[in-house]
Structure 1
Amino acid sequence: MSKPKIAVIIGSTRDTRFADKPAQWILDLAKQRDDIDVELVDLKDFDLPLFNEAASNAWVPSQDQRAVAWQQKIAGYDGYIITIAEYNRSITGALKNAFDQAYVDWNKKPVGFVAYGSVGGARAVEHARNIAVELQMVPVRSAVHIGGSEFVAVAFQGKTIKDIEPAILPSAKDMLDQLTWWAYATKNAREESVAEAAE
């Protein structure tokens, strides 16, 4: 079996977003592994409209070509790591819309989170995990939570992610180990299902 391909998705599209920093950090960390291939995916590159299809693509094909392009992009991955900015105790509207623009393309694949906010983005991650379950994904147990003081240090006080790494590296390693295990397990199961259907 080939190595699973993992997307690191930047889950915020604001011009002044912080998400680029943890996304690049987790991407670099994941690239140190020899058991997965990793690529950065930026929601800003897709200009997704607000969801306005007749139904989910679980039921009817999407008509807007921007949504179709997004579906085709995420379909090519075996798992995801998503940066989560906590907005008013939940995920960003852009990320919720990105989840909603696809369905079958997310199915039966693992997802991990790198979050930040006043309580480390924990409330937003809980919402994201519920959404992932509805999309038939496998949200892994461990997540990276960049707490308020660490976030302020990097965003406003001249520190870097490397400066706060001692606080977040153990959970990042756990998350990557879990994500990789589930990426192999679900990739194998999906490939077996395709082979059985072809018989």
Structure 2
Amino acid sequence: MTGIGIILGSTRPNRKGPQVARWVLDIASRRDDADFELIDLCEHPLPHLTEPAPPMFGPSVHPHTRAWAGRVAPFDGFVIVTPEYNQSAPAVLKNAIDHVYAEWVNKAVGFVSYGVNGGVCAASQLRQLCGTLGMAAVGPQAAISLHTDFENHADFTPGNRPTAALDKVLDQVVAWSSSLAPLRRPATDTIDSEGTDHDDAERLPVTR
């Protein structure tokens, strides 16, 4: 069955992300067309990039990079739950995405963002980033407002609007993940004992 990873993209103390991510997982788990699993970046601490070669050229040499690659490689698609910090996505989230390359290629991704203005700027930046990595970013987005979807900016109380938006995100992520399956290499082919294998790195321009 199609496997979708729900990436919780905030690690700060007192973060609101777990409430939103658990809601996403709860709604998603009611479906019978895919398996869903939460990936909390707090459980996968990564330093700023310390690999001697860019991820697309590999192989990665550090255990933390190989462990992160192994965590995300088996999934067919992703839903990224992101806050918005100063009209941008969290640095820790971009760093996690930047750490690997082949594990993202030809996979679908959708966005659930939250912030004062629904986190739409953060999601927009992530769309560009994920597209550069060869991912298919779906059109629908669930944008959650701190003003209307949280009580006192603290307790998440989603209504019908964000729930309906999330359903559309999940529909598209599952559909695109299944459709892209013929283009993907098996996880066992993208990760070996030495780290990440990037045979298709030449497809992405990069400044070393």
The verdict on a shared fold, with TM-score over 0.5 as the criterion, is yes
| 1:95-148 Cα shifts (integer Å, max 9, x gaps) | 010011011111100011110011100000000000000110011101110013
Q: Over aligned residue pairs, what C-alpha RMSD do you find?
A: 1.7
**CA contact under 8 A between 1:10 and 1:23: conserved in structure 2?**
yes
Higher relative contact order (CA closer than 8 Å, sequence separation 6+): 2
Instruction: Report deviation, 1:16.
Output: 1.2
Per-residue CA deviation, residues 165-184 of structure 1 (Å, 9 max, x unaligned), is 21201111111111111010
- 1:173 matched to 2:171: no
5+ unaligned residues in a row in structure 2: which ranges? 190-208
Q: Which residue of 2 aligns with 1:111?
A: 109
Unaligned runs of 5+ in 1: 195-199
The residue type paired with residue 5 of structure 1 is G
Does 2:35 match 1:41?
Answer: no
Question: Normalised by the size of structure 1, how large is the TM-score?
Answer: 0.89
Match of 1:52 among 50, 53, 64: 50
* Number of residue pairs aligned between Structure 1 and Structure 2: 187
Quote the sequence identity (%). 34
Matched residue SS, 1:23: helix
Asked if the contact 1:107/1:135 (under 8 Å) is kept, the reply is yes
In structure 2, C-alpha distance between the alignment counterparts of 1:15 and 1:36, rounded to whole Å? 31
**Counterpart code for 1:153:** E
Matched residue, 2:17: 19
1:185 aligns with 2:179: yes
